[in-house]
Amino acid sequence: MTAKKKTVIGYVLASLAIIAADQALKAWVVRNIPLNASAAQQRALIPGVVHLTHIRNSGVAFGMFSGGRWLFLALLAAFCVIVVWALVRHKLTAPWERWLAVLAMAGAIGNGIDRALYGYVVDMFELEFMHFAVFNIADIAINVCCILFVLLMLLRKEPEKPEQPEENSGENVPTEEEPPAKEPEELTEAEGAVLKGEKPCRTIPIIPILRAMRI
């Protein structure tokens, strides 16, 4: 099995785990805690910190923007299409980018299932130490992943660009009109003497002189 297939299987399993946990807890709350439960009917989860209650939320995360069932489903479908497209087209390069996008999509699907079936979402977590909206597992996945994604994008350092070589000023660059200088090996004896500051030796044509003397 290739590394790519293992990664895809990991995405699917993690998404299914979030969706299953979200739906299972919602079903348990509906069966065991009355709707809009009183303080006596609520279930303590962490005493003094958070307890379980039962409310119906027709909005988005944390009860915002109530109403608009089909609008939210359309936005959910668009969000899932964008995430899948980004994964397939490799728009998310870092592994943490891909994982956060997949887990946020899983949370959105968890709430989308409720909204498609009932027109509302079941929420149950209520904080005791501060006044905050009631939320569920899907809300946690969506908001935690989105916040981490934004923070990590802001903190990510851009790769340093390699230094560009300095442009040649144009000095000592042979032009097309000027032939390149000869290497020392290619210089004649006379040219070498001139370069050394010596007077070139004048060669005497001995053979023509001897031939002339025989006449």
Q: Which active-site residues does the annotation give? A: 123, 139
Beta strands in 73-152 (DSSP E): 121-127
Cα–Cα distance between 66 and 123 in angstroms, integer?
Answer: 14
Q: How far is CA 158 from CA 99, 146, 153, 161, 164, in A?
A: 20, 21, 10, 9, 17
Residue 36 is given by DSSP the state: T
Q: What is the CA radius of gyration of the chain?
A: 40
Residue with tokens 């699917």: 12
Residue with tokens 């149950």: 124
Cα–Cα distance between 104 and 86 in angstroms, integer?
Answer: 14
Q: Report whether 141 contacts 61 (CB < 8 A).
A: no
Give strand pairing partners of 50: 46, 127
* Cβ-proximal residues to 104 (8 Å cutoff; 6+ apart), any chain: 83, 141, 142, 145, 146, 149
Cα–Cα distance between 17 and 19 in angstroms, integer?
Answer: 6
